[in-house]
């Protein structure tokens, strides 16, 4: 009852707002609306650009994330401050659920959505993971917000394509991370006589041997299952190249092809140089191990910078980074994005939130604090620290592929099967079983 009355009130408000906006020429809190008219690309269903009310629609906006501490919390706080500045009428309600990589949060969210008790907006990995919600009819298209923000004029078309299903855009991306980065300890490498980043997997394995001979027992550091999936995906990318890697998800590359088999045996050799990990291990210990020189390398997304910073490590001296060998010029991306759940109590408040998330000011404030890079292409790079500047440059020029481990390339159900295969391989080290597990997962969930 309450919901339906507030909803009709909101509809009235929108109608009134539309009229007044026409009269006054509108004021879209900080978002450049120059390109709003022609924003929708050829493939996107066109929609009227959303016109936020002056100061916001009012009411509460509950925002669900798993950004509960560390640099993520700081990012969310910065974004919230920006939201309150742009839309002072709306009040932000933080519904964050703690827990690494959203493992607890996703379970809570799933039951809230199932029980028709959706938050005002929730965080989701852009790409395939979001299609679970889209297919289940749990989130609404946000073409109008995207149009108001400027669409492909301000967001990369590559990225928008990955958010689009049958012509509708379902979320507003907030930030981009890169997954194919090796973090290394330059002192350890120097000791082992390594001065150049290796060019491909074979060269990298040879370097690992050198590091091992120099007295470091575990040249490579790994964590729990998802970090292993991420490592494996970058090996796949290195051995297959971006085109065949993308083909893994649309059926044009077979999971039992030679390239995949090579990647699996490379991956097995890599594990031979790694520490012993258990399924549930977290990622920060790996970064600490590289920093302390217990290991030379770790493959981790670029959120690792925050962990180095926490250790007061200096770039170049205490740590260095390069793309996973063989993936130079490729950007293995994952992105967070925000959605408009179906049946949200205050859809206009939610849209105001999405406007902030997608605005240049919001992306600047958020990404500077979180250590990621903006999804928008028009945010000035010189405001960011060194690593982020280089990542922004790469994101513009590199070939973009989607991360498996972080839900950009495959939906959750598929990812779960890939994770089991990787976890099984970690203990059994059976290459054939791994290939056949991956193949049957692709048959079950793919095309």
Backbone torsions φ then ψ of 43, nearest 5 degrees = -90, -15
Structure tokens at 264: 């699996």
Binding mask 226-255 for other proteins (x = CB under 8 A): ------------------------x-----
Pairing, β 121-125 against β 59-64: parallel
Size of the residue set binding other proteins (CB under 8 A): 45
Instruction: List the one residue from 318, 399, 423, 439 that touches other proteins (CB under 8 A).
Output: 423
* 115 lies in the binding site for other proteins (CB under 8 A): no
Question: ∠ CA(315), CA(266), CA(217), 5° rounding?
Answer: 55
Q: Note the helical H segments in 115-200.
A: 128-135, 143-149, 157-163, 186-191
What Å distances lie between residue 200 and 232, 237, 273, 324, CA to CA? 14, 11, 16, 8
Q: Which of residues 53-92 bind other proteins (CB under 8 A)?
A: none
Instruction: List the one residue from 71, 121, 275, 327 that touches other proteins (CB under 8 A).
Output: 275
DSSP string, 175-191: EEEE--EEEE-HHHHHH
Residue 182 CA to residue 444 CA, distance in Å, equals 32
Q: Which of residues 309-338 bind other proteins (CB under 8 A)?
A: none
Instruction: List the one residue from 88, 193, 280, 329 that touches other proteins (CB under 8 A).
Output: 280
CB of 58 to other proteins, least distance (A): 34
* 3 lies in the binding site for other proteins (CB under 8 A): no
Binding mask 287-306 for other proteins (x = CB under 8 A): -------x------------
Residue 81 CA to residue 248 CA, distance in Å, equals 41
Question: ∠ CA(377), CA(383), CA(389), 5° rounding?
Answer: 60
* 107 lies in the binding site for other proteins (CB under 8 A): yes
Instruction: List the one residue from 259, 349, 362, 411 that touches other proteins (CB under 8 A).
Output: 411
CB of 11 to other proteins, least distance (A): 27
CB of 432 to other proteins, least distance (A): 14
CB of 51 to other proteins, least distance (A): 29
Residue 173 host element (H or E): strand 171-178
* 276 lies in the binding site for other proteins (CB under 8 A): yes
C-alpha 219: how far from chain center: 27
User: Checking phi first, is residue 85 left (phi over 0); if not, alpha (psi -120 to 50) or beta?
Assistant: alpha
CB of 433 to other proteins, least distance (A): 10
Instruction: List the one residue from 110, 200, 242, 268 that touches other proteins (CB under 8 A).
Output: 110
C-alpha 56: how far from chain center: 28
Q: Are 45 and 156 in contact (CB under 8 A)?
A: no
* 407 lies in the binding site for other proteins (CB under 8 A): no
Instruction: List the one residue from 71, 164, 171, 339 that touches other proteins (CB under 8 A).
Output: 164
Binding mask 183-222 for other proteins (x = CB under 8 A): ----------------------------------xx----
Q: DSSP state, 89?
A: T
* 34 lies in the binding site for other proteins (CB under 8 A): no
Instruction: List the one residue from 121, 225, 227, 388 that touches other proteins (CB under 8 A).
Output: 225
CB of 304 to other proteins, least distance (A): 20
CB of 151 to other proteins, least distance (A): 17
**How many CB atoms sit inside 10 A of residue 137's CB?**
9
Q: CB neighbours of 405 closer than 8 A, spacing ≥ 6? A: 179, 226, 227, 229, 230, 233, 415
In 3-state terms, what secondary structure has residue 329?
A: coil
Instruction: List the one residue from 8, 117, 314, 416 that touches other proteins (CB under 8 A).
Output: 416
Instruction: List the one residue from 12, 413, 432, 443 that touches other proteins (CB under 8 A).
Output: 413
Judged by beta carbon, residue 64 or residue 83, the one nearer other proteins is 64
Judged by beta carbon, residue 67 or residue 133, the one nearer other proteins is 133
Pairing, β 121-125 against β 164-165: unpaired
Q: DSSP state, 101?
A: G
Q: Are 265 and 234 in contact (CB under 8 A)?
A: no
Residue 307 CA to residue 310 CA, distance in Å, equals 5
Q: Which region, judged by CB under 8 A, interacts with other proteins, from 76-84, 104-112, 175-183, 308-316?
A: 104-112
Binding mask 121-140 for other proteins (x = CB under 8 A): -------x--xx-xxxx---
* 98 lies in the binding site for other proteins (CB under 8 A): no
Give the helix, strand, coil percentages of the chain, each rounded to 5: 50, 15, 35
CB of 155 to other proteins, least distance (A): 17
Binding site for other proteins (CB under 8 A): 103-104, 106-107, 110, 128, 131-132, 134-137, 161, 164-166, 217-218, 224-225, 250, 275-281, 294, 411-413, 415-416, 419-420, 423-424, 426-429, 445-447
């Amino acid at each position: 009852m309450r919901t339906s009355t507030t909803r009709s009130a909101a509809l009235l408000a929108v109608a009134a707002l539309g009229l007044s906006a026409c009269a006054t020429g509108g004021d879209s809190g900080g978002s450049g609306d120059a390109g709003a008219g022609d924003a929708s690309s050829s493939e996107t269903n066109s929609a009227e650009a959303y016109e936020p009310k002056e100061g916001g629609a009012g009411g509460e906006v509950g925002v669900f994330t798993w950004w509960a501490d560390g640099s993520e919390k700081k990012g969310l706080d910065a974004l919230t401050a920006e939201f309150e500045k742009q839309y002072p009428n709306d009040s932000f309600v933080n519904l964050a659920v703690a827990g690494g990589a959203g493992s607890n949060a996703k379970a809570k969210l799933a039951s809230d959505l199932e029980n028709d008790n959706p938050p005002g907006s929730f965080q989701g990995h852009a790409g395939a993971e979001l299609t679970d919600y889209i297919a289940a009819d749990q989130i609404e298209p946000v073409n109008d917000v995207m149009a108001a923000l400027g669409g492909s004029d301000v967001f990369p078309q590559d990225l928008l394509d990955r958010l689009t299903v049958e012509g509708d855009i379902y979320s507003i991306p907030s930030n981009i991370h890169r997954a194919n980065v090796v973090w290394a300890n330059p002192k350890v490498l120097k000791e082992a006589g390594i001065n150049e980043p290796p060019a491909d997997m074979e060269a990298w394995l040879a370097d690992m041997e050198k590091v091992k001979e120099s007295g470091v027992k575990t040249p490579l550091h790994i964590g729990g299952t998802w970090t292993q999936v991420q490592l494996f995906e970058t090996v796949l990318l290195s051995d297959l190249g971006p085109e065949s890697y993308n083909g893994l998800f649309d059926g044009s590359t077979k999971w039992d092809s030679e390239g995949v088999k090579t990647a699996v045996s490379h991956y097995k050799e890599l594990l031979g140089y790694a520490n012993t990990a258990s399924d549930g291990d977290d990622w920060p210990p790996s970064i600490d191990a590289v920093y302390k020189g217990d290991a030379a390398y770790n493959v981790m997304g670029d959120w690792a910078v925050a962990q180095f910073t926490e250790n007061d490590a200096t770039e170049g001296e205490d740590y260095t980074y390069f793309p996973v060998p063989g993936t130079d010029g490729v950007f293995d991306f994952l992105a967070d994005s925000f959605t408009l759940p179906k049946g949200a109590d205050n859809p206009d408040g939610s849209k105001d939130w999405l406007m902030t998330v997608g605005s240049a000011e919001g992306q600047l404030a958020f990404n500077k604090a979180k250590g990621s890079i903006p999804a928008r292409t028009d945010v000035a790079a010189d405001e960011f620290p060194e690593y982020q500047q280089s990542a922004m440059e790469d994101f513009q020029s590199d070939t973009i592929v989607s991360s498996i481990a972080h839900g950009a390339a495959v939906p959750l159900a598929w990812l779960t099967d890939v994770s089991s295969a990787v976890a099984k391989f970690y203990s059994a080290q059976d290459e054939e079983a791994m290939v056949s597990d991956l193949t049957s997962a692709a048959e079950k969930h793919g095309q």
